Amino acid sequence: MSDAPFLFDRLCVIGIGLIGSSILRAARSYGLSRTLVAADLSQKVIGRVEELGIADVATTDFGAAVTDADCVILCVPSGAFGVVTEIIAPHLKPGAVISDSGSVKGAVVAQMSPFLPSGVHFIPAHPVAGTEHSGPDAGFAELFENRWCIFTPAENIDAEALARYRAFWERLGSKVERMTPEHHDLVLAVTSHVPHLIAYNIVGTADDLETVTQSEVIKFSAGGFRDFTRIAASDPTMWRDVFLNNKKAVLEVLGRFSEDLAYLQRAIRWGEGDKLFDLFTRTRAVRRSIIDQGQETAAPDFGRPHGKH
């Protein structure tokens, strides 16, 4: 536990899945809050939180959970932010920081803003971290280390509140970047949302072909397909809501992807090896850049640990 002072006296996390339980674990491990409160609609999840001991208070009552909290973080599906905010709004403490962990920012801001009372500091955020696992058991304190957390607050956000919340994520191990919700959604459509959609699609196609190939798709899965299945194993509820709530940016990037795919089809059909070689050379450079920026490792099997999580 850190010897630094608490950043928040009472921290409340609503929605105890991978991200929510990891925030609680990390806040406990690094000594970021005096009291940790976990809230979830599922009594089964709350029971598991109590068994794991990752919060001081665990409840299904959202109003009671946020009462007197200095910081409230919503870790719920993208389509649920408005409903949850409406429930907790009358109970929010003046001066509290309220945030989220949603991977779509424009829709989150539009859902939450109408219900938030004046006097609270709304700092939408997206910790760009995760695994294909979900639920309270999936979390771990190190999830956010050396990962980005993107803030998308309004221009007139209170400077002291912003600095405190930035310090919170930096002490969780994250690097913090600030941008507009619209820019965030376009960037994430390219780096996360459309790649997930492609993964779901290719794994679905392979599943359709299982009978044709006499189960050899699964039996002989090589690294490329195996990595697609890892991505496509992500939480279906979360990703359904991501695509519905980031529709504009996703469709824009999908349109560009479709055009580029048609270009590759033509190159293959007409034997234009130089075009294929040029593209593959360019994409290798992108991979090297990701490694250079510390967002991946060049170790064998993509550097992923085995059996840890």
Average pLDDT, integer, range 244-252: 89
pLDDT: which is higher, 300 or 82: 82
| Closest listed residue to residue 57, CA positions, set 40, 70, 82 | 40
Sorting pLDDT into bands at 50, 70 and 90, what band is 223?
low
* Domain 8-179 shares a fold with domain 183-271: no
pLDDT at 299: 58
| Closest listed residue to residue 7, CA positions, set 192, 182, 168 | 168
Please give the Cα distance from 56 to 36 (Å, whole number).
5
Lowest mean per-residue pLDDT among 9-23, 168-182, 205-219 = 205-219
Query: Is CATH 1.10.3660.10 what the domain over 183-271 is classified as, yes or no?
Result: yes
Q: What is the pLDDT of residues 105-140, one digit of tens each?
A: 999 999 999 999 999 999 999 999 877 778 898 889
Please give the Cα distance from 62 to 88 (Å, whole number).
6
Q: What is the DSSP letter of 140?
A: -
| 8-179 homologous superfamily | NAD(P)-binding Rossmann-like Domain (3.40.50.720)
Domain ranges of the chain: 8-179, 183-271
pLDDT at 84: 97
pLDDT: which is higher, 149 or 2: 149
Q: Is 234 in contact with 227 (CB distance < 8 Å)?
A: no
Residue 180 has pLDDT above 80, yes or no: yes
Percent of the chain at pLDDT > 90 equals 58
Average pLDDT, integer, range 37-60: 96
pLDDT at 208: 75
Residue 147 has pLDDT above 70, yes or no: yes
